[in-house]
Amino acid sequence: MAYPYGEPLENYDELEGRDSVDLLARIIYAEASTESKEGKRGVAFVIQNRKELVRNKAPHHKEFGKKATFESVILHPGQFNGAESDQMLKPVLKSKAWKDSLDIAQNLSDQDNPIGTCLWFNGVKVFQKNTTSNEKYYTGWGGKAKIVEREDIGDHVFFRVEGYSVTK
């Protein structure tokens, strides 16, 4: 019997212990269901980049999870708004958005990375609200961090700030 990818769940606690492909597909769907396949890949690679950062024990790695697993990174408190959404718990399995999300999750190692080493993403409007007028500094965390990498895909802005690197 095949793994029940996307089966409806009743609460957030049921996400723990799920297959990594299922969790990755769910978070891609929850965060980027209306985005292009490239935008969905961007979300997947933010998670992959964070997983690598944790694996490499790079500076700030504890912000992204305790272990270098998809589960630890995806379910780490406060990281992804979509993680506690109805879309995460009950994806529409017949939708193109779910099918694309599952395809990306199942074949991540074969996918092109459209975002380099970016570690965060915001919707365009949220990004603009949380940056200085020239968009060179991110202020969304209360401080001011220099943006050193940025990719715009659809309605998402993927970015990395100074002091954060996937490698040590």
Q: Which tokens go with 21?
A: 């492909």
Residue 1 has a pLDDT of 61
pLDDT in tens, 70-80: 999 999 999 99
Evaluate if pTM is beyond 0.85: yes
pLDDT in tens, 4-39: 999 999 999 999 999 999 999 999 999 999 999 999
Query: What number is the average pLDDT over the span 86-90?
Result: 98
Q: Which tokens go with 59?
A: 């500076």
Domain ranges of the chain: 19-161
- What is the rounded distance in angstroms from the CA atom of residue 14 to the CA atom of residue 10? 7
The b-or-e profile of 99-118 (16+ CB within 10 A means b, else e) is: bbbbebbeebeebeebbebb
* SS3 track for 61-101: HHHCCCCCCHHHHHHCCCCCHHHHCHHHHCCCCCCHHHHHH
- What is the rounded distance in angstroms from the CA atom of residue 20 to the CA atom of residue 23? 5
Residue 167 has a pLDDT of 80
